[in-house]
Amino acid sequence: MSFVEYGDTIKDGDTAIVFLGHESMFPVKVQQGTVTQTKYGVIRHSTDLIGKKYGSKVTCSKGGWVFILHPTPELWTMNLPHRTQILYSTDISIITMMLELKPGSIVCESGTGSGSLSHALIRTVAPTGHLYTVEFHQQRAEKAREEFREHGVEHLVTVTNQDVCKNGFGVSNIADAVFLDIPSPWEAIGHAKSALKPEGGRICSFSPCIEQVQRTCLAMEEHGFTEINTLEILLRVYNVRTISLQIPDLGKAAEDNSSAGFDSSNPSNQGSPSANLQQGTVQFKSSVPLREMVGHTGYLTFATKS
């Protein structure tokens, strides 16, 4: 199993996603002789998972069933253990596009955090690219290395435990893009410039507060970055539902026709809507936004090394 390569069957040691419903799923590490408890009963790894195909419908001990899904960066973002606040697919999608990432790209990232963006970056630059990710917190860095190894992507990523604001990324003039998600990104702009390739590299900084954005933009200008642009992505979800509405009663057609001198023999009155209108209900699809929505997550500031 690898997050960048699809495997047909579930193997011992794989990370799989147990899907109970669109609002209920969780990751599980498949191990011989282990069981996993769900609200539908027990899943026995040895007999119910190992050797089965990904996407299989597995019946639990109480008679209920679940699906076992192959892990992807999108599913991992929704189910990963949170060691820090994470980036979600809404921001991740615009980051990978605006940084112009593709297979073979070299990317520097700080900080690693829970690895949500890291997995998406690795999948984007695979199979020949590389991610250099820096994490200040030692335990989080060690946990990230362990997860990358378990997920079969350790050859595509280098995890470094150091302060990027003081020591940089550990590489020079090779990165196609740099991503910063740290409290004081303006202190790392110089190191980001050193890590980027001599010309044309892209940088992105994620900050929740506009004051951080202001200082970061000033630092980018001081270091000669151009095309500085800040944007905010807001996600608004709509629910599609079926609505039944009653057709309005506009009065009996016969009475309306007689009172108005309606002549059914007159060809001009044939097919009149009032002559064919019948009271009843009509169904149609309608979409409405949720009453509550995820609002501000953070500001994304992009720039180009000139």
For the chain, the structural domain boundaries read 9-71, 76-234+297-305
The residue assigned the tokens 């027990």 is 42
Confirm whether residue 115 is marked as ligand binding.
Answer: yes
Amino acid at 38: T
Length, in residues, of the chain: 306
pLDDT digits 0-9 by tens, 153-166? 999 999 999 999 99
Confirm whether residue 116 is marked as ligand binding.
Answer: yes
- CATH code: domain 9-71 is 3.10.330.20
Confirm whether residue 258 is marked as ligand binding.
Answer: no
**DSSP element (H, E) containing 300:** strand 299-305
pLDDT digits 0-9 by tens, 16-74? 999 998 889 999 999 999 999 999 999 999 999 999 999 999 999 998 999 999 999 99
Q: What is the pLDDT of residue 276?
A: 46
CA distances to 87, 94, 226, 296 from 91, rounded to whole Å, are 6, 6, 22, 11
- Fold classification of 76-234+297-305 is Rossmann fold (3.40.50)
Average of per-residue pLDDT values in the chain: 91
Q: What is the pLDDT of residue 306?
A: 87
Confirm whether residue 117 is marked as ligand binding.
Answer: yes
Q: Is 305 helix (H, G, I), strand (E, B) or coil?
A: strand
Q: Give Cβ neighbours of residue 23 (< 8 Å, ≥ 6 apart).
A: none
Structure tokens at 100: 């112009």
Q: pLDDT confidence of 275, banded at 50, 70, 90?
A: very low
Confirm whether residue 249 is marked as ligand binding.
Answer: no
Q: What is the pLDDT of residue 23?
A: 85
Does the pLDDT at position 141 exceed 50? yes
Give percent of the chain above pLDDT 90: 76
**Average pLDDT value for residue range 126-140:** 97
